[in-house]
Structure 1
Amino acid sequence: MRLLQIWDRFAPISTSNTPHHPNGLPTPSNVVVVGGGIVGASLAWHLAHETNVTVVAEHPGGVATPNSFAWVNAAYDNPKFYYDFRVRSMKHWAEIAEAVPGGLPLHWGGSVTWSMPPDELEKYEKQHQAWGYDIVRVNRTEIGEIEPGFELESVPEWGLFAGGEGTLEASVAAQQLLDHAVEYMGAKVIVDTVEGFAKSDAAEDGSTRVTGVITKDGKQILGDHVVLAGGLGSVPLLATEDIKLPVNGRQGMLVNSKPVAEKLLNTLINSNQLHVRQTVDEGRIRAGADYTGGDPGENPQEDADKLFEKVKDVLVGGDDLEYDYYTIGTRPDPEDGIPILGDTGLEGLTVAVMHSGVTNAAIVGDLLTKRIMTGVSDPALVDFQLNRFDRKQ
């Protein structure tokens, strides 16, 4: 009975009374999703409940996604509309995890934060409590009770505990969503590189419509609608159509221990020295120097070694940890820090690019699927349109 209730949540969207577009174009019978990271995978999974889906990705599982710290949270210093959006996505991740066979590598362990000066930390606390977020102040003793594996010498007098936050092994989850869409809903995954868009001839009003994508060898993969979810790769693709996507790349380093059988951390720690967590699937200790993972220097291995020594210093029994590897990822950062979702200015082409894709992918997949399939846009999407940058000029 519970499984049926979960699947009811993803029942096909009714399109009988609402055309796909105001001009009466039919509901898409095949959608092409460009990108196989966590955002593209969520889009493909949601769309596959409603229509035929073809995913075209050079790297199924993503490029930025495997190198993400993968913290699922409502974040600090965001406007209220974006906070609300992230909270919706957190709730939807829990629903998706129940609907995917075997669940997702998702851990709702909460986070403990003391990464900012006390006055900013207090502002964060008051603001998010007023918004109804599950966040409370905890003193050093309480932090020790929450995280007995963390050395108290490096802990300040107080911090904040956000009990509803979590972590997701994002590249694993992306592959699970793709596999589920393929095996249970008939989606297709094509491993290839997209270099442009196929378009229809000009209509009477002089406009053109995107009808698919063109791969590096000139092959056309056709669809009634295309969703561009390729992270930084979306920038040069839209540039081929003289569309500017104001997104920059920011590199960050993360270090990883070898798998650890014991549970060393219960939560995600966001301290003034580093952020650190234990992975759900393999038990690795993963850490970065700040929110972006720490900028790699000229000698990344040397930087990784220093960062890993910090990790060992702050964990009880940290000397027993064994270093395994580091990653350097490049996250796509919209210029104003807010996701870019929706119209591109070309009929039949939707874009979805953001940081944090891991937090936002769930609700992005849900809301953009409804928009593409019914033509009805959730009110929350109005603040994330690409054309907002035109209005700022």
Structure 2
Amino acid sequence: MSDVAIVGGGIIGLSVALRLVQRGADVTVLDGGDEGAWQVAAGMLAPGGESEHEDPALIRLMERSAELWPGFAAELGVEVGYDDTGTLSLATTADDVAERRRVWARQQLPLLRPSELRALEPALSPRVRAGVFAPRERQVDPRRVVGALRERLSDRIVPKRVESLSDVDARTVVVAAGCGTAALTGLPVRPVKGQVLRLRGEPGLLRHVLDAAVDGREVYVVPRADGEVVVGATQEERTDRLVTAGGVADLLRAAIDLVPGLAELELAETTVGHRPGTPDNAPLLGRLDDRVVVAAGHFRNGILLAPVTADLVAGLVLTGEADPALADFSPRRF
């Protein structure tokens, strides 16, 4: 019997496992092989840009985790695509500008003219009307992060699909199963479909992450150092795994309207994933009962919240005491 079994081998479960192992716990990660949201995530570490409609407690949690990311990336010991170049938040029409102004005002960032934006990012379309530069926002490559975590924890990971928590032989069970958390716990975690594209070309077309409103469509464009560009993401209340022509067309249209040079890149991958959403779109963090701890329901913010989730859940499991930051995210609230 293990001290702790973690159900779920995605970025959340593995990050919690790493913290527990570092603090001396006997940990087993039960990985059912499901495709997690991390596999299609762009890895934007942007609490300011992600928090327009979020609860203040969640905003604080995201900001706390963003500050942990430089150290977390460094301790993995390999290149995980961590980049602190910053993000450009952009708008192309008057309506887009009006919509984005609320976010920009909250971020307290100076509004930049089109010429100033193109000085920072020459590949931008002349259609870009306004924007801001968020120098503290970062990115990381989730696939590399999970690869590094799996390497560090290779002797702890057991391929096993868990159908019932009663079948798990451990004193404490941490459920970090993403959308699968609902079936294991009865908690209201729903899958929210997202379609993501990966383009490939020579490095250097873009310098910054772009988060934009283009003719009323939300799109992000995330360049990697190796020439890959991630374009995302649709948000659909659906459970299927179909890549649709409409979803691809909408993303490509918005991205190319924003950066015309993307039209010359190879369309290398089209992917569907499901974000684990909750009724209030905030994560489920904390004790469900004396044996079960939940770390799930991170919705759009699983990559961003991985370090703080690892710290908070590991602390709870090992000491039995809950950090005050967990109070607003108890799974018992539902």
TM-score (norm 2): 0.87
Task: Indicate whether 1:127 and 2:106 are aligned.
Answer: yes
Task: Indicate whether 1:64 and 2:37 are aligned.
Answer: yes
Q: How does 1:331-342 map to 2 (within 5 A)?
A: 331-342=275-286
Kept in 1, the 8 Å contact 2:31–2:161? The answer is yes
Q: Take 2:97 and 2:258, find their aligned partners in 1: how far apart are those partners? A: 21
**Letter in structure 2 aligned against 1:237:** L
Kept in 1, the 8 Å contact 2:208–2:223? The answer is no
Structure 1 residues 292-301 or 354-363, which shifts more? 292-301
1:265 corresponds in structure 2 to 206
Kept in 1, the 8 Å contact 2:192–2:236? The answer is no
Q: Deviations over 1:71-113 (max 9, x none)?
A: 2111222222211110111111111111121242222222222
1:16 corresponds in structure 2 to none
Counterpart pick for 1:349 among 280, 286, 292 = 292
Q: How does 1:169-318 map to 2 (within 5 A)?
A: 169-182=141-154, 187-198=155-166, 214=167, 221-238=168-185, 244-258=186-200, 260-273=201-214, 274-280=218-224, 282-288=226-232, 292=235, 300-301=244-245, 303-305=247-249, 307-318=251-262
Kept in 2, the 8 Å contact 1:254–1:293? The answer is no
Q: Any stretches of 5+ residues in structure 2 without a counterpart?
A: none
Q: Deviations over 1:132-184 (max 9, x none)?
A: xxx4422212211221122222x01x2222211122211220121121234xx
Q: Take 1:34 and 1:305, find their aligned partners in 2: how far apart are those partners? A: 36
TM-score (norm 1): 0.75
Structure 1 residues 88-97 or 143-152, which shifts more? 143-152
Q: Deviations over 1:262-319 (max 9, x none)?
A: 22222221211342334436421221255x3898998714542553354344325334
Q: Take 1:283 and 1:180, find their aligned partners in 2: how far apart are those partners? A: 27
Structure with the higher fraction of residues in helix conformation: 2
Q: How does 1:92-171 map to 2 (within 5 A)?
A: 92-114=68-90, 117-129=96-108, 135-153=109-127, 155-156=128-129, 158-171=130-143
Residues 225 and 281 of structure 1: CA distance in aligned 2, closer, same or farther (over 3 Å) = farther
1:91 corresponds in structure 2 to 67
Task: Indicate whether 1:49 and 2:42 are aligned.
Answer: no
**Letter in structure 2 aligned against 1:189:** I
Task: Indicate whether 1:366 and 2:311 are aligned.
Answer: yes
Q: Take 1:283 and 1:59, find their aligned partners in 2: how far apart are those partners? A: 29
Task: Indicate whether 1:77 and 2:53 are aligned.
Answer: yes
Residues 266 and 52 of structure 1: CA distance in aligned 2, closer, same or farther (over 3 Å) = same
Residues 235 and 294 of structure 1: CA distance in aligned 2, closer, same or farther (over 3 Å) = closer
Deviation at 1:245, TM superposition (A): 1.0
Kept in 2, the 8 Å contact 1:268–1:277? The answer is yes
Residues 237 and 298 of structure 1: CA distance in aligned 2, closer, same or farther (over 3 Å) = closer
Residues 222 and 289 of structure 1: CA distance in aligned 2, closer, same or farther (over 3 Å) = closer
Residues 29 and 54 of structure 1: CA distance in aligned 2, closer, same or farther (over 3 Å) = closer
Q: Take 1:297 and 1:137, find their aligned partners in 2: how far apart are those partners? A: 39
Kept in 2, the 8 Å contact 1:77–1:124? The answer is no
Q: Deviations over 1:169-206 (max 9, x none)?
A: 11220121121234xxxx510112111123xxxxxxxx
* RMSD (Å), alpha carbons: 2.6
| Secondary structure of the corresponding residue to residue 153 of structure 2 | helix
Residues 136 and 44 of structure 1: CA distance in aligned 2, closer, same or farther (over 3 Å) = farther
Q: Any stretches of 5+ residues in structure 1 without a counterpart?
A: 1-27, 130-134, 199-213, 215-220, 239-243
Q: Take 1:341 and 1:297, find their aligned partners in 2: how far apart are those partners? A: 27
| Secondary structure of the corresponding residue to residue 106 of structure 1 | coil
Residues 136 and 55 of structure 1: CA distance in aligned 2, closer, same or farther (over 3 Å) = farther
Kept in 2, the 8 Å contact 1:136–1:162? The answer is no
Deviation at 1:257, TM superposition (A): 1.2
| Secondary structure of the corresponding residue to residue 195 of structure 1 | coil
1:379 corresponds in structure 2 to 324
Residues 297 and 231 of structure 1: CA distance in aligned 2, closer, same or farther (over 3 Å) = closer
Kept in 2, the 8 Å contact 1:73–1:165? The answer is yes
| Secondary structure of the corresponding residue to residue 287 of structure 1 | strand
Residues 170 and 29 of structure 1: CA distance in aligned 2, closer, same or farther (over 3 Å) = same
| Secondary structure of the corresponding residue to residue 163 of structure 2 | strand
Aligned residues with identical type, % of pairs:
24
Q: Take 2:203 and 2:147, find their aligned partners in 1: how far apart are those partners? A: 26
**Letter in structure 1 aligned against 2:322:** S
**Letter in structure 1 aligned against 2:306:** A
Kept in 1, the 8 Å contact 2:191–2:237? The answer is no
Kept in 2, the 8 Å contact 1:113–1:269? The answer is yes
